[in-house]
Amino acid sequence: MNILIVDDHPLTCQGLAALLAATRPQARIQSAYSAQQARLTLQKLPAPEWIFLDIKLPDDPQHLLFKQLCDSPWIDHTVLISAEPEHRLIRTALAAGARGFIPKTADPDLVLSGFEHILAGEFYVPPALTGLLREPDTSAGDSRALSPRLQQVQELLLRGMANKVIARELGLSDHTVKEYVSSVLAFHGVGNRLELVLRLGAERNSGGNLAA
């Protein structure tokens, strides 16, 4: 397993790398201390299978690396990390397909447990922070739609299709569909398909924004 940790604090990179290596000694773990260094690393082989990305990088105040990842297949293999949770960016990343968010203040057991959930095909946010995903985003440009692929998965979920049927319909693997379903459910702050149907049905009846 190849892992890239992107954070401007070397101690954070070293600490996270040591923690992950303790449970996965065969993993090849690299660190990038800036957005520029991360871009260069992503152009080299072997490509990382997972990216732990600090939301705030000094050389990237406009979050351009974050936005580039959101618009690329890399987002399906990205875990956000930050000392200051920002629910708008978490929701943006989730809408694009990011696998989760782990705060830098999390204890080691939570970090490892969260990553295990992600490797199992789930979207992960610590239970104490799940409420952030349910808060309406009132900032400018707050209507952040799901990616086109996640919108397709959502519509098929609302039709009552099982994962295997969705996989066959969209030409995806069962594992990929499981990941996408987890992302759709987490984006809307619901725990299962029934809650999704009830929530979106109520929002549609009231004329609400599905992506809010």
Chain centre distance of CA 153: 16
pLDDT at 50: 95
Q: 178 and 112: one domain?
A: no
Chain centre distance of CA 14: 22
Q: 157 and 121: one domain?
A: no
Domain count, the chain: 2
pLDDT at 86: 66
What's the CATH code of the domain at 172?
A: 1.10.10.10
Cis amide leading into 136 (omega within 30): no
pLDDT at 51: 96
What's the CATH code of the domain at 34?
A: 3.40.50.2300
Q: What is the pLDDT of residues 103-145, one digit of tens each?
A: 888 899 999 999 998 888 777 888 777 665 555 443 322 224 5
Evaluate whether residue 211 is within a structural domain: no
Q: 129 and 155: one domain?
A: no
Q: Among 70, 99, 134, where does a domain finish?
A: 134
CA-closest candidate to residue 77, choices 104, 109, 53: 53
Q: 96 and 157: one domain?
A: no
Evaluate whether residue 201 is within a structural domain: yes
Q: 44 and 99: one domain?
A: yes
Evaluate whether residue 173 is within a structural domain: yes
pTM for this structure? 0.69
Q: 96 and 155: one domain?
A: no
Which range of residues forms the domain containing residue 170? 148-206
91 vs 145: CA distance, rounded Å: 10
Intervals of the chain under pLDDT 70: 86-88, 130-145, 201-212
120 vs 175: CA distance, rounded Å: 9
Q: 88 and 55: one domain?
A: yes
Which residues have CB under 8 Å from 132's CB, separation 6+? Answer: 85, 87, 90, 125
pLDDT at 210: 39
Would you call 176 helix, strand, or coil by DSSP?
A: helix
- On whether the CB atoms of residues 32 and 68 are closer than 8 A, the answer is no
Q: 68 and 163: one domain?
A: no
Helix (H) or strand (E) holding 30: strand 28-32
Q: 157 and 180: one domain?
A: yes
Q: What is the pLDDT of residues 76-91, one digit of tens each?
A: 899 999 887 765 677 7
Q: 110 and 160: one domain?
A: no
Q: 87 and 27: one domain?
A: yes
Evaluate whether residue 142 is within a structural domain: no
Helix (H) or strand (E) holding 59: none
Evaluate whether residue 143 is within a structural domain: no
pLDDT at 201: 64
Q: 10 and 85: one domain?
A: yes
